[in-house]
Amino acid sequence: MQSEPIRVLVTGAAGQIAYSLLFSIAKGDVFGKEQPIILLLLDITPMLPVLEGVVMELQDCALPLLREIVPTDKEEVAFKDLDAAILVGSMPRKEGMERKDLLKANVAIFKSQGAALEKYAKKTVKVLVVGNPANTNCLIAAKSAPSIPKENFSCLTRLDHNRARSQVAMRCGVPATHVKNVIIWGNHSSTQYPDVHHCLVNMSGSELACFDAVKDDAWLKGDFIATVQQRGAAVIKARKLSSAMSAAKAICDHMRDIWTGTPEGEFISMGVYSSGNSYGVPEDLIYSFPVQIKDKSWKIVEGLAINDFSRTKMDATAAELMEERDTAVTFLSSV
């Protein structure tokens, strides 16, 4: 006996991340092989003809779990009775655009989508914000949906987490699955701090601390961090397009872990509400922490030792997030 279908929204649904994402969701990689799905696909009006093509392709996949596909440009249709919302669509940064202008455009979008969540979605909806600046967009959406618990909102830093994991794995010559408990602290930006002080690497059957496995402290404290921080820009430079396949995979990982939990003894990174954390991160931010997930709720992993090297980097990314938040909040009243 299959369960009732769940309603899953993807915004920016005609875009390139969504194109890599929708098939995985529809075939059961995220919410489970027994879970039927109604897919709601939101995009802006000029993209509707393209979205129609995406719908045709999803139909042509002939998937057993996909019960209904609803393409729309209307928030009241897209956000109705949602179980999960994956907010991919945002205003992309254009040549010569100030970060401030980008922030203002996105505050308008995420204020509106937050209000739509508040008005139309289930109060239990799980909301993942992907569109950049993801942390601040997520905070604005959460503030605009006051009756949905703040814990239900998260932003994507799993792509950074996976990048860090993969860099360590390649360096050690092991599969990425042999590397666990890397941490991304802070903002999904070039100030993020990829931290491997608590990371473990499985080398020929025994788990070693990352620093012992890699045996190159200078790399781990230098080029490794820079590579992960700058990886998005490197992909754009090479491909002339931003990360899509890898972003879609990270979205699937993030949502699947929310739905089914994290493995025993492992933690993952996601941007969550910072209030009440024990790591001295300022309140009222969406900040990436190491979390464990059980029964669809996350807990920040407590008691990890933070050295001075880490502290400085954690504080730097927090400072950037506070500045972004304060700028965004001033726009909130004007948009």
Residue that finishes a domain, picked among 138, 155, 172: 155
In this structure, are 91 and 32 located in the same domain?
Answer: yes
Residue 198 near residue 303 (C-beta atoms within 8 A): no
Look at residue 329 and tell me if it is in a domain.
no
Ranges of residues in the chain whose predicted pLDDT is under 50: none
Q: Which of 188, 197, 198, 254 is catalytic?
A: 188
206-234 exposure pattern, b = at least 16 Cβ within 10 A, e = fewer: eebebeebbeeeeebeeebbeebbebbee
**Known active-site residue 197:** no
Tokens 């730097």 sit on residue: 316
In this structure, are 248 and 167 located in the same domain?
Answer: yes
Residue that finishes a domain, picked among 155, 184, 206: 155
The domain total for the chain is 2
Residues sharing a CB contact under 8 Å with residue 239, sequence separation 6 or more, in sequence order = none
C-beta neighbour count of 75 within 10 angstroms: 18
Secondary structure class of 323 (helix, strand, coil): helix
Instruction: Kindly tell me the sign of the dihedral angle through the C-alpha atoms of 261, 307, 178, 193.
Output: positive
Structure tokens belonging to residue 167: 């860099």
Q: Write down the pLDDT at residue 10.
A: 98
In this structure, are 81 and 40 located in the same domain?
Answer: yes
Distance CA 269, CA 186 (A): 10
Q: Write down the pLDDT at residue 1.
A: 66
Render pLDDT for 155-192 as a digit per residue (tens, 0 to 9).
999 999 999 999 999 999 999 999 999 999 999 999 99
In this structure, are 164 and 132 located in the same domain?
Answer: no
Domain that holds residue 287: 157-322
Furthest C-alpha separation in the chain: 58
In this structure, are 140 and 60 located in the same domain?
Answer: yes
